[in-house]
Amino acid sequence: MKEMFQLSYILKTSPRILDAKLTTAGGLSEWFADDVNIRDNVYYFSWDGYEEEAILLSLKPNHHIRFQWIDDHENDEDYYFELSFSVDPMTQSIMLLITDFAESEDKDSNILMWEQQIQKLRRLIGA
């Protein structure tokens, strides 16, 4: 059984720039995967020749995007991964919140994977 975990990051960028990096195939392929294609609300993520498919569950511009891996969807699991963000009205910094699920033995490696991907995103957007 997978357990939910959340990670948060403060980014110095504009909501418009971040939204493009989180919700478009081109943006996601710059930091999250080597290549991303979208067909009929299914996102195809590729890493070193390995491909995973995810269904787009929810998208609210300048707020969040939520996916569910095809394997979880086909097994009627409630697991998903979500990238959401909000702007701090005082500092104008953006708080990026990642929600994901992992088996307990895989949680540390999943967190490490997210940390590496967010480092790439930070370099990309100059945050």
56 three-state secondary structure: strand
Q: For residues 126 and 10, is the Cβ–Cβ distance under 8 A?
A: no
49 three-state secondary structure: coil
Q: Could you tell me the residue range of the domain that residue 56 belongs to?
A: 2-125
∠ Cα 124 51 42 (to 5°): 85
63 three-state secondary structure: coil
CATH at 107? 3.30.530.20
Closest among 97, 120, 95, 90 to 12, alpha carbons compared? 95
pTM of the model: 0.92
pLDDT in tens, the chain (127 residues): 899 999 999 999 999 999 999 999 999 999 999 999 999 999 999 999 899 999 999 999 999 999 999 999 888 889 999 999 999 888 889 999 999 999 999 999 999 999 999 999 999 998 6
Domain count, the chain: 1
